[in-house]
Amino acid sequence: MLEQIKFYQTGSNTVGNRLLNPAMRTIQASTDRPNGLISGHRACQGCGEALGARYAIDAALKATNGQLMVVNATGCLEVFSTPYPESAWKLPWVHSLFGNAAAVGSGLAAAAQVLAKRNGDANAPRIIAQGGDGGTTDIGFGALSGMFDRNDDVLYICYDNEAYMNTGVQRSSATPPSARTATTQLVGDHPGADWGKGKDLPLIAMAHGIPYVATATVADLRDLENKVTKAMSFHGARYIQILVPCPLGWGLASNSTVSAARMAMETGFFPVYEAEYGKITSVRKIRQKQPVLNYLKMQRRYAHLTGKKADPNVVARLQALCDANIKNFGLLGDDEPNAPVAIQAYERSQAV
Amino acid sequence: MLEQIEGSLGVAKAVALCRPGVVCAYPISPQTHIVENLGKFVKNGELKDCDFLNVESEFSAISVSIGSEVGGARTYTATASQGLLFMTEGIYSASGLGLPIVMTVASRAIGGPINIWNDHSDSLSQRDSGWLQLFCESNQDAVDTHIMAFKIAEKVGLPVMVCMDGFVLTHAFERLDIPSQETVDKFLKPYEPKEYLNTKEPVSIGAMVGPEAFTEVRLLQQRKMAKALDVIEEVTKEYRELTGSKSGGLLDCYNCENADLKLIILGSTVGTAKDEIDRLKAEGINVGIISLKSFRPFPYAAIKEAIGDTKQVICVERAFSFGARGIICPEVKRAVEGTSCDVKTVVAGLGGRPIFGTTINGIVKDALAGKFTEEFTFFDVNADVLNSYTQKHEGVTFNKGPINQSAIEKSVKA
């Protein structure tokens, strides 16, 4: 829906909210907002994860008419929202471990369905399991893949800030190449994170053939809300990965969280799309293509690539990555990408 | 109803009678037959309103169980050995969150070297995890203890491991008395969780607790364990009255009147030992057996009472603590502190090495002859196997027969 917009605020690539019709505007505050994650929590200034979680959970609360329960992996979101005896969650919420949120979600969904059936209740509460990229792509990966495999009725949301921020910014398998983290420091011949490592979890999720997979960022909150709402219209395993810049970990000004997320989309660094049953169904097109350097310049984790001693070859490689994304996902043209689909997707789409 | 069936099938039937809402399965020998049978009961409709989940690891088995208990469903899973260790992080989470999961541990040795046979190193490795650990003597004991375990867990607000010896019990065909559904329904009401996740009364479960309240949380957990001692006895009494069963309890005494020596044993070895003790009695040797049913909580007072005036106690242990000594013995010593009772560990039956009647006979006779001069002795060790390595590589030779701690220490200095 947002693809049709052709006007932007000067200098920021922002779609002018006031220029949109009311149905398409992003709403910060309104009386019917569920406020599942309320203010007063201990997130850092400019936290992308807090912003992403607030919009995702509120959209899901609306979509389920409040029949929602949340499982949280260990991580920033868990720590800053529930220091005993306080809680910033106004909905049923549980935290068990770092690597088991998806499995706890499966168990909770099973219990909710069994209890609803016993009580003759037609609508069992729905389940969201959520965690950061470390809890999702690394330590929680096995449990997540198992949840996808069983097609359990859980929406898993990964708040991707591309490193282990809660423990002090260490590399995860979602950390991009050349990025500085505490375990990929800016020393030696190849400063920052190694090239040729990491994994693409949205594509891995799609390879499970599950009903719905999407990526989103905190720069397009309405798009994020729409995707969460859409995800809740499906039953079975679903996955949304939201890019949530971390001012502390990325070395980003705390008022640039949204700008950085937008730049990640406009450069092709983070492709935004959605897929149903393993097949990409829509792609968020780049509006005003930006060179990757503009994205790197905003962040001190890439300071070694933008100063006088910067290696232009590395910047060129990062630009090539973005260009590959643009080509593979069709981020500029009118075409949607056409890739092979897991056979499990056929199986699941027929079952529904 | 009396049936001649495999122990695992008996346990599966017992669990099904308890009407769990969620059963989680991951294969690992020797517990697998239990969940296979439960999967069948769910699929053929014998076990209704129950979700059976095939998960991808034991870590997820315990995690799904955590989720379903948090969601208010009675939950069962089973594991053993490596699987229990793979669960460990979730084991602590489940007890810390006070979730009354019931889990069978089909006790099996831990690798490496990998070994699939029975000893108690898996369950005893989780002794500090905050779970109740109830050991079973026989398959009948296992059937009854599983049914009692749900009630005990839900009354105490802590998870329970029902520990039954792998293969020796799980794979043994025996005559079992399976209670009727009507009896179990009378004994065990539908699960009504005190606190669980629901949308009517939203709560946050599993918050981060810092130094300001962590000690208190732990003390309250210890308090639940203290309550568990009474609950186990109450529930056992109620179950025995209802069914006429002799299972359960904190411990069980056999031939303990005026015994010159008492053996403290966990699990299926008790049955073997009882037979041998009867034979010894004919020889005029009077030995008592204390079958320790509840290892956690540890029944110090009941153990002290069961030992009574007996001056010599041997703990026959199927696991030990590397770099230290026995695991059961120090607990028993605490129970009889201040008395003149002599308590020692005899290690036997590791990694499936069978404990025969002759093994028990040997332990009793050596004990009465005063041959156990130290607290810690490996009893059924084969010096030939040992020497085939130590002689060749270090020129060290062990004598045949039991090997005690100082012999081990001396061999290092030689």
pLDDT band at A5 (very low <50, low <70, confident <90, very high): low
* Contact call for B89 and A99, based on CB within 8 A: yes
For B60, half-sphere exposure in the C-beta direction (CA atoms, 13 angstrom radius) is 24
Longest dimension (CA), chain A: 69
Phi, then psi, of B365 in degrees rounded to 5: -70, -40
**Cα gap A322→A229, rounded to integer Å:** 29
Tell me the one-letter amino acid at A160. D
Q: What is the pLDDT of residue A29?
A: 75
For B164, half-sphere exposure in the C-beta direction (CA atoms, 13 angstrom radius) is 30
Q: Are residues B160 and B302 in the same domain?
A: no
Q: Coil, strand or helix: which one is A209?
A: coil
pLDDT higher than threshold 80 for residue A254: yes
Q: Which of A163-167, A229-233, A340-344 has the lowest mean pLDDT?
A: A340-344
* Contact call for B55 and A150, based on CB within 8 A: yes
**Cα gap A115→A124, rounded to integer Å:** 8
* Contact call for A143 and B66, based on CB within 8 A: no
| Burial environment of residue B246 by CB neighbours within 10 A (0 to 12, 13 to 18, 19 or more) | middle
Residue indicated by tokens 């905050």:
B130
Q: What is the pLDDT of residue B113?
A: 97
Q: What is the pLDDT of residue A4?
A: 60
Q: Are residues B140 and B232 in the same domain?
A: yes
Q: Do B272 and B107 meet the contact criterion of CB atoms below 8 Å apart?
A: no
Average pLDDT score over chain A:
93
Closest to A107 (Cβ–Cβ): which among B56, B67, B204?
B67
Give buried/exposed letters for A54-87 (b at 16+ CB in 10 A, else e). Answer: bbbbbbbbbbbeebbbbbbbbbbbbbbbbbeeeb
pLDDT higher than threshold 80 for residue A24: no
Nearest CA in chain A to B58: A143
**Cα gap B10→B25, rounded to integer Å:** 17
Q: Which residues of chain B have pLDDT under 70?
A: 414
Q: What is the pLDDT of residue A187?
A: 94
The torsion of the CA quartet A273, A278, A279, A285, rounded to 10 degrees, works out to 10
Q: Are residues B97 and B236 in the same domain?
A: yes
Q: Are residues B219 and B367 in the same domain?
A: no
* Contact call for A143 and B63, based on CB within 8 A: yes
Q: What is the mean pLDDT of residues A66-73?
A: 98
* Contact call for B63 and A91, based on CB within 8 A: no
Q: Do B247 and B156 meet the contact criterion of CB atoms below 8 Å apart?
A: no
Q: Are residues B7 and B149 in the same domain?
A: yes
Who wins on pLDDT, A4 or A146?
A146
Pairing of strands B312-317, B342-347: parallel
Average pLDDT score over chain B:
97
Q: Are residues B278 and B330 in the same domain?
A: yes
The total number of structural domains that make up chain A: 1
Helices A48-63, A257-266: axis angle to 10 degrees equals: 80
The total number of structural domains that make up chain B: 2
CATH number of the structural domain spanning residue A125: 3.40.50.970
| Residue A157 tokens, joined | 């949301």
Size of chain A in residues: 352
Full domain range(s) for residue A324: 2-351
| Residue A249 tokens, joined | 């970990």
**Cα gap A346→A338, rounded to integer Å:** 16
* Contact call for A146 and B55, based on CB within 8 A: yes
Q: Are residues B24 and B51 in the same domain?
A: yes
Q: Are residues B138 and B218 in the same domain?
A: yes
Which residues, including other chains, have CB under 8 Å from residue A231's CB and lie 6 or more apart? A60, A155, A212, A214, A238, A240
| Burial environment of residue B66 by CB neighbours within 10 A (0 to 12, 13 to 18, 19 or more) | buried
pLDDT band at A350 (very low <50, low <70, confident <90, very high): confident
Q: What's the predicted TM-score (pTM) here?
A: 0.96
Q: Which of A6-10, A235-239, B107-111, B127-131 has the lowest mean pLDDT?
A: A6-10
pLDDT higher than threshold 50 for residue A1: no
| Residue B38 tokens, joined | 């439960």
For A333, half-sphere exposure in the C-beta direction (CA atoms, 13 angstrom radius) is 10
pLDDT digit string, tens, across residues B94-149: 999 999 999 999 999 999 999 999 999 999 999 999 999 999 999 999 999 999 99
DSSP symbols for A29-77:
--TT---SB-TT--PPTT-HHHHHHHHHHHHHHHHTTT-EEEEE-SSHH
Q: What is the pLDDT of residue B49?
A: 96
Q: Are residues B117 and B162 in the same domain?
A: yes
Closest to B204 (Cβ–Cβ): which among A93, A112, A115?
A93
Give buried/exposed letters for A278-299 (b at 16+ CB in 10 A, else e). Answer: bbbebbbbbbeebebbebbebb
Question: Is B261 a member of any domain?
Answer: yes
pLDDT higher than threshold 60 for residue A3: no
Pairing of strands B2-6, B173-177: antiparallel
Q: Do A23 and A38 meet the contact criterion of CB atoms below 8 Å apart?
A: no
DSSP code, position A83: B
In A182-298, at which residue ranges do the beta strands (DSSP E only) sit? Answer: 212-217, 238-243, 273-276, 279-283
CATH number of the structural domain spanning residue B218: 3.40.50.970
Last residue of a domain, one of B243, B277, B309: B243
Q: Do B133 and B123 meet the contact criterion of CB atoms below 8 Å apart?
A: yes
* Contact call for B72 and A115, based on CB within 8 A: yes
Q: What is the pLDDT of residue A309?
A: 87
A116 in reach of chain B (CB within 8 A)? no
**Cα gap A221→A236, rounded to integer Å:** 24
Q: Are residues B125 and B256 in the same domain?
A: no
Full domain range(s) for residue B340: 251-380
Tell me the ipTM for this assembly. 0.95
**Cα gap B313→B290, rounded to integer Å:** 10
Tell me the one-letter amino acid at A45. Q
* Contact call for B66 and A114, based on CB within 8 A: no
pLDDT digit string, tens, across residues A311-339: 999 999 999 999 999 999 999 987 777 78
Among A69, A90, A104, A141, the residue to mutate for chain B (most B Cβ within 10 A): A104
CA-based nearest residue to B351, from B98, B75, B118: B118
**Cα gap A277→A280, rounded to integer Å:** 8
CATH number of the structural domain spanning residue B348: 3.40.50.920
pLDDT digit string, tens, across residues B171-221: 999 999 999 999 999 999 999 998 999 999 999 999 999 999 999 999 999
Which residues, including other chains, have CB under 8 Å from residue B369's CB and lie 6 or more apart? none
Q: Are residues B61 and B158 in the same domain?
A: yes
DSSP code, position A136: I
Residues of A in contact with B75 (CB under 8 A): 107, 111
pLDDT higher than threshold 90 for residue A26: no
**Cα gap B80→B29, rounded to integer Å:** 7
Q: Are residues B74 and B114 in the same domain?
A: yes
List, as ranges, residues 139-168 from A with C-beta within 8 Å of B.
142-143, 145-146, 149-150, 152
Residues of A in contact with B24 (CB under 8 A): 107
| Burial environment of residue B27 by CB neighbours within 10 A (0 to 12, 13 to 18, 19 or more) | middle
A344 in reach of chain B (CB within 8 A)? no
